[in-house]
């Protein structure tokens, strides 16, 4: 970017760009983890998936945040979106959709207790004088990648909404 073009980029624009970079980086971190263990035998197995393998809601939200960052960068280096209100409206819509898809993806992750609840109940079985105790444990849930992606979406959403608010005030105040 030329010096004069970089001066047009506000701190809130840089937040949207940083959120896009953070979302892209978070896509390669674990978004969902499943751990199964048999404590009596000392066996533990864990697996995780990143955004690219966690389903549509995960990878699509990453692409939305990267697109929002791209809109900001493209409009500052001579792109067609010269009006700040239209640029901020587009980034606001992309960030809001990314936030919604991440939350929906989080809510629809499989729950170990829901699908494998019967295995957990087996730990309470008594065979005569032998108590199995908590023989099996299965846990699952969101991981660091999802939390970073969600944080990036919240940051982009907040920055875009503040930018849109400021741009719409300027646009309405022009005679």
User: What gap in Å lies between CA 62 and CA 90, rounded to an integer?
Assistant: 16
User: What tens digit of pLDDT does each residue of 5-21 get?
Assistant: 444 678 999 999 999 99
**Where do runs of H (alpha helix) occur along 8-55?**
11-26
Q: Is 150 exposed, middle or buried (0-12, 13-18, 19+ CB in 10 A)?
A: buried
Q: Is the pLDDT of residue 153 over 70?
A: yes
Q: Is the pLDDT of residue 172 over 80?
A: no
**102: pLDDT confidence band, cut at 50, 70 and 90?**
very high
pLDDT: is 41 or 89 the higher one? 89
* Domains along the chain with CATH numbers: 3-173 (1.20.140)
Q: Is the pLDDT of residue 64 over 60?
A: yes
b vs e for 106-115, b when ≥16 Cβ sit within 10 Å of the residue's Cβ? beebeebeee
Q: What is the mean pLDDT of residues 83-108?
A: 90
């Amino acid at each position: 970017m030329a010096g004069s073009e970089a001066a047009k980029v506000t701190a809130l624009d840089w937040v949207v760009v940083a959120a896009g970079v953070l979302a892209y980086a978070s896509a390669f971190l674990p978004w969902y983890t499943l751990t199964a263990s048999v404590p009596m035998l000392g066996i533990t197995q864990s697996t995780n998936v990143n955004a690219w393998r966690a389903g549509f809601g995960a990878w699509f939200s990453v692409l939305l945040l990267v697109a929002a960052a791209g809109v900001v960068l493209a409009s500052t280096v001579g792109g067609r979106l010269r009006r700040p209100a239209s640029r901020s409206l587009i980034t606001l819509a992309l960030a809001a959709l990314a936030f919604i898809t991440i939350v929906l993806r989080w809510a629809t992750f499989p729950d170990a207790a829901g699908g494998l609840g019967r295995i957990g109940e087996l730990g309470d079985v008594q065979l005569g004088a032998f108590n199995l105790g908590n023989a099996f444990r299965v846990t699952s849930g969101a991981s660091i990648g999802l939390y970073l992606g969600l944080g990036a979406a919240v940051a982009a959403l907040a920055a875009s909404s503040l930018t849109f608010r400021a741009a719409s005030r300027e646009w309405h105040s022009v005679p």
